[in-house]
């Protein structure tokens, strides 16, 4: 079935991350977590983020507050989802929004720090699927396709990293 989709990709970053960008995000978000933990729990009663969520009022706000340490790095991505490349190995998939989460962390053990950033693409026209390949065009191209115009496409190999997070069926005559 063809339609307009949006793709999400959830990237995990922890002490085992090896890419340079990931390491910078890891280091800076841990530093910010550590500072925020001191603000939320000045007596240091709770070592882990999970304990703080249970016992410290408004600790849920730490997701947002710690995300500020990653903002400069997110801008470096030039609005392209990292790690998701077309079949030629080129990053091409723009993101509109993202969600930052602290998965786990500890004020006493930096190696337990783990965050996730979920990237959400803009609208994408799903033209066809061939085996594990999605043939897509960035944006809503249904009118152009319906008029018989040429549209630029990308081929993306479907993997467990990629989630189609929304779908809208097209009712144009070309897709029926």
pLDDT of res. 40: 97
pLDDT over 70 at 53, yes or no: yes
Q: What is the pLDDT at residue 146?
A: 87
> 176 or 41: which carries more pLDDT confidence?
41
Does 98 or 2 have the greater pLDDT score?
98
On the question of pLDDT at 173 being above 90, the answer is no
Q: In the chain, what are the domain boundaries?
A: 3-175
- State mean pLDDT over 150-154: 96
* Confidence (pLDDT) at 4: 96
The pLDDT value recorded for residue 2 is: 87
Residue 50 has pLDDT above 90, yes or no: yes
Average pLDDT over residues 19-42: 98
Using alpha carbons, list the distances in angstroms from residue 146 to 9, 78, 111, 129. Answer: 30, 31, 53, 18
- The whole-chain average pLDDT of the chain stands at 94
Give CA–CA dist 165/15, Å, rounded: 28
Range 66-71 contact pairs with CB under 8 angstroms and sequence separation of 24 or more? 66/29, 66/32, 66/33, 66/36, 66/100, 66/102, 66/115, 67/29, 67/100, 68/32, 69/25, 69/28, 69/29, 69/31, 69/32, 70/25, 70/28, 70/29, 70/100, 70/115, 70/117
In this predicted structure, what is the pLDDT of residue 174?
54
Q: Give the pLDDT of residue 170.
A: 78
State the pLDDT at residue 161.
85
């Amino acid at each position: 079935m063809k339609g307009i989709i949006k793709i999400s990709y959830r990237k995990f970053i922890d002490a085992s991350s090896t890419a340079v960008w990931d390491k910078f995000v890891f280091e800076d978000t841990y530093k910010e977590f550590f500072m925020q933990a001191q603000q939320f729990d000045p007596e240091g009663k709770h070592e882990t983020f999970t304990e703080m969520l249970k016992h410290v009022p408004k600790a849920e706000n730490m997701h947002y507050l710690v995300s500020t340490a990653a903002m400069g790095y997110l801008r470096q991505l030039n609005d392209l989802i990292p790690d998701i490349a077309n079949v030629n190995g080129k990053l091409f998939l723009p993101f509109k929004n993202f969600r930052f989460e602290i998965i786990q962390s500890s004020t006493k053990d930096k190696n337990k720090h783990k965050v996730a950033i979920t990237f959400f693409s803009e609208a994408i026209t799903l033209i066809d699927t061939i085996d594990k390949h999605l043939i897509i065009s960035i944006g809503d191209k249904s009118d152009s396709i319906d008029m018989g115009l040429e549209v630029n496409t990308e081929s993306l190999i479907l993997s467990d990293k990629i989630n189609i997070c929304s779908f809208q069926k097209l009712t144009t005559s070309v897709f029926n």
